[in-house]
Amino acid sequence: MNENVKLYTFESVSTGQPVPFVARLVVRGDTLNPGPRRTQFAHDKDDPILEFYDPRNPGPTEIPKLGFRVAEYYLTTLLGMESGWASGRQARIGLDLRMGDNDYKIDGASMDKILHWAVLTLAQLAVASKGIK
Rounded to two decimals, the pTM is 0.79
Lowest-confidence region among 9-18, 24-33, 61-70: 61-70
Per-residue confidence (pLDDT) for residue 48, from 0 to 100: 92
Mean pLDDT computed over 34-54: 78
Q: pLDDT above 70 covers what percent of the chain?
A: 73
Please list the residues that pair with 32 across neighbouring strands.
Answer: 41
Helical segments of the chain, H only? 75-81, 108-129
Please list the residues that pair with 72 across neighbouring strands.
Answer: 51
| Number of helices and strands in the chain (H, E) | 2, 8
pLDDT at 46 over 70: yes
Return the DSSP state at 38: G
| Cα atoms found within 13 Å of the Cα of residue 82, Cβ hemisphere only | 26
